[in-house]
Amino acid sequence: MELRAEEISQIIKEQITDYDKKVELSETGVVLSVGDGIARIYGLEKAMALELVEFPGGILGLVLNLEEDNVGVAIMGEDIHIKEGDIVKRTGRIAEVPVGEAVLGRVVTAVGEPIDGKGPIDAKEFSRVEMVAPGVIARKSVHEPCYTGLKAVDAMTPVGRGQRELIIGDRQIGKTACAIDAILAQKNTDVYCIYVACGQKKSTVAQVVAVLEKHGAMEYTTVVSACASDPATLQFIAPYAGCSMGEYFRDKGQHSLIIYDDLS
């Protein structure tokens, strides 16, 4: 079988015309040093504050320090596999968590990943973990009570919607129990609850979830868990994540109660 020069030329032209090579561009940097859950990255000049970056192995990091010649990244995972010279890639995404009714009744990590074995979260809306708080003028004065379910508190030192209250005391005196009672007291109200476990043992979080499920409170509650065994970065952003979930309901004209246990 003989091919003429015209046929060969036509075949080559068709292949060139139909050639479709997708080119993916990504900005990368190099790890200068790593230790104590913090990595110094060179080469990410356009990185944004609180942007997620990806290390080898799919480990994510959170950009915190933006310096002249490098950026400081908090590693959201085990750092034993990250070493000097590793390539780090920008994702272009600011740290965010799923919000809305899709996260009600779920137990999630500080980055919104489900850990309750109930499958993925079908969230249609997301919110950044750090948002600008409303100014003093934009805030409505405290005019509506938020019942805690504790008669002594509700009668003597009532808590209003929009307030922040500190539960302080010695160990093992029932501080968590007071917070859980406040969540249970919202069962027949229009208040959504977020329980943020910061540095707690996994067994303690499991007990709290069991109590909430027993009393039917998980229907209007989200549990954000950053246990003592989790990286410090996740424990750091857990309160921000819980606050973002609560602010979503606030922005919708609804009410939310956030419990931080514990924030100290």
172/222 same-domain check: yes
Domain at 84, CATH number: 2.40.30.20
- 62 and 22 share a domain? yes
At 13, is the secondary structure helix, strand, or coil?
helix
46-94 pLDDT, tens per residue? 999 999 999 998 999 999 999 989 999 999 988 888 999 999 999 999 9
Give the domain range for residue 44: 1-94
Report residue 195 CA to chain centroid gap. 13
Residue where one domain finishes, among candidates 55, 78, 94: 94
Pick the last residue of a domain from 78, 94, 110: 94
Calpha distance 252→100 (Å, rounded):
10
Same domain, 42 and 57: yes
Write the pLDDT tens digit of every residue in 85-118.
999 999 999 999 999 999 999 999 999 999 999 9
Token couple for 146: 């938020």
Compute the distance between CA of residue 161 and CA of residue 176 in angstroms, rounded to an integer. Answer: 20
User: Could you tell me which residues are beta bridge partners of residue 108?
Assistant: 114, 224
Of 44, 21, 41, 22, the closest CA to residue 31 belongs to: 41
For residues 244 and 113, state if they share a domain.
yes
Helix axes 175-184, 202-214, angle to 10 degrees: 30
140 and 204 belong to one structural domain: yes
pLDDT of residue 175: 92
The CATH number of whichever domain residue 223 belongs to comes to 3.40.50.300
Token pair, residue 211, equals 């109590």
CB contact at 8 A, 223 and 232: no
Split into its structural domains, the chain has a count of 2
Same domain, 101 and 197: yes
**194-208: per-residue pLDDT in tens?**
999 999 999 999 999
Regarding whether 76 and 124 lie in a shared domain, the answer is no
pLDDT-derived band at 24 (thresholds 50, 70, 90) equals: low
Q: What is the mean pLDDT of the chain?
A: 91
Torsion sign across C-alpha atoms 104, 110, 112, 113: negative
Query: How many CA atoms within 13 Å lie on the side-chain side of 186?
Result: 24
| Stated pTM of the model | 0.85
Of the three residues 42, 77, 94, the one that is the final residue of a domain is 94
Residues 69 and 180 in one domain: no
Domain match, 221 and 109 both: yes
If asked whether residues 86 and 113 sit together in one domain, one would say no
The reply to whether 139 and 67 lie within a common domain is: no
Claim to verify: residue 236 and residue 149 sit in the same structural domain = yes
The residue among 23, 29, 38 whose CA lies nearest residue 232 is 38
